[in-house]
Structures are given as C-alpha cells and as structure tokens.
Amino acid sequence: CSANQSSTDSEKEVTLTISAAASAQDALEEIQKNYEKEHQNITLQDNFGSSGALQKQISQGAGADLFFSAAEDKFQKLVDD
C-alpha cells in the first residue's frame, strides 16, 4: 500500500486469509466482491465461524491475516497473548 512500491510489487499475487465471525459473512462477502474487482492480484480466503472458535484456532497457530470478531474479549485475548 506504499507509494514507494514498484509496479511489479503492486502486481504480485497475494492471498489473504480472513477469519471472521459468521454474523459478518454476508457483509464481508459483498465487500470482498468489490475489493477483488479493484485488486485483481489479491485473493481473499474466508474462514467463518464463531468468534470463540476462531480465536482458539488463531491462538493454536492457524494463519489469519485479518480477524473480525463479534466479541471484543476474543479479539483482546489474542492481543494480550
């Protein structure tokens, strides 16, 4: 996202894993459609579930580039750990 990136860096294929509360699924899928149209080199991979289950997966080493929790305490536990 930096203005100092070369054109080859900005066109590099990237996959981002998004772990998100199931309650956010409809909204995130709509946002993703629009985002991926504008950023064709970026693929968004979803992992939907309960905030507690996702927090546990991440704390046990599951990869996640973004975590959208419906419960602030689950997010805060990851930050604290």
CATH number, domain of 63, equals: 3.40.190.10
Distances (CA, A) of 43 to 25, 55, 68, 80, 81: 16, 22, 17, 29, 28
Is 1 within a domain?
no
Is 6 within a domain?
no
Question: In terms of pTM, does the model score above 0.95?
Answer: no
The percent of residues above 90 in pLDDT, for the chain, comes to 84
Q: Which domain holds residue 44?
A: 14-80
* Number of domains making up the chain: 1
Is 8 within a domain?
no
Of the candidate ranges 3-12, 14-23, 32-41, 44-53, the one whose mean pLDDT is the lowest: 3-12
pLDDT of residue 11: 79
Q: What is the DSSP-derived secondary structure letter of residue 22?
A: G
